Amino acid sequence: MSTVRNKEIAENFSHLLTIFHQKFIQPLSIPLPLNHFGTLICLGNNGTQTIGELSSKLKISKQQMSPIIDKLHKSGYITREQDKTDRRSVNISITSEGYDLLSAHHDNIVHLFEQRLETISNINNLEEIRQAQIALIRLINKYF
């Protein structure tokens, strides 16, 4: 019984992610290729990392990671700095321009969600959405 319930919960979560992507991510064009944008998100969330750490977290080979790093560096979204303890290693950090790009995209998602919420006139439905969000955030933070 537990296995069936877990599969259903996992399927529902996958469906939720798909819906969220279709309704709120796809309508907003990101100004970079997805791998580039994912790299900025990873740096923004986790701080300075090596190319190896980034490629591991993003499931991208180091060979594929290098041109992404080059383009983001050329655009001013990241910096590269030789590791002081290991000259073979390069530390990658997000710049204020990179944070600004992530912040603008976040603001666009929030604005789109606010616009969609304005179409809901029933205050009970709005409260139900708010409570569901709070519960989901709490549970995900607690168990994952």
Beta-ladder partners of 50: 91
Cα separation of 66 and 133, whole Å? 38
pTM (global) more than 0.85: no
68/117 same-domain check: yes
* Domain range for 5: 1-30
pLDDT value, residue 27? 87
- Is residue 51 domain-shared with residue 15, that is, in the same domain? no
C-alpha to C-alpha distances, 71 to 32, 46, 74, 75, 123, nearest whole angstrom: 10, 20, 5, 6, 46
Query: 136 and 82, same structural domain?
Result: yes
- In this structure, are 79 and 22 located in the same domain? no
129 plus 76 within the same structural domain = yes
Note whether 17 and 41 are same-domain residues. no
The tens digit of pLDDT for each residue in 98-120 reads 999 999 999 999 999 999 999 99
Same domain, 18 and 40: no
If one counts the domains in the chain, the total is 2
DSSP for residue 40? H
Q: Where residue 75 sits, what CATH number does that domain have? A: 1.10.10.10
pLDDT below 50 — which residues of the chain? none
Confirm if 50 and 90 have CB atoms less than 8 A apart: yes
